[in-house]
Amino acid sequence: MGSLWLFVVVFIAGPLAFVVLVKQARKLAELRIMVVLVIALMSIGLVAGRMARQPDGLDQFMAITSVVSFWCAWIALIAVLVAMIQRHYPHRTTKRIANATGAMATTLPWMGLYLARWIAG
């Protein structure tokens, strides 16, 4: 059941969150807010990752918080980049290609994590 839940989150919720963020970023001010969101999420991930090494028993929670925060920052960063591409190149085909590529890119960190686990044995 845990694998199914993770699959749904990674391969359905991630791309859906990306699509929602791209649709929200229409104006330059909204793009700036999203950049602040990316920086905030990356900072949370960094702090949580450093706290995971503390000997106070919060290791697993902080490690999961760090990974999830970095993944959310990754999704928001891709949404910012795709929104900027759509802003500069308003053609319909360009928007479709950017949306499809961005939605697929949301799963890349998890593919890398799975590949690393597979190689490690």
Query: For 68-100, what is each residue's pLDDT tens digit?
Result: 999 999 999 999 999 999 999 989 999 999 999
Query: In which domain, by residue range, is 84 found?
Result: 15-120
In a domain, 76, yes or no: yes
Q: Kindly report the pTM of this predicted structure.
A: 0.87
In a domain, 49, yes or no: yes
In a domain, 1, yes or no: no
In a domain, 6, yes or no: no
List pLDDT tens digits, range 4-49.
777 778 889 999 999 999 998 888 899 999 999 999 999 999 998 8
In a domain, 5, yes or no: no
pLDDT at 80: 96
In a domain, 74, yes or no: yes
- Looking at the 3D structure of the chain, how many domains does it have? 1
In a domain, 39, yes or no: yes
List C-alpha distances in Å: 93 to 2, 31, 35, 47, 59: 38, 22, 25, 40, 46
In a domain, 104, yes or no: yes
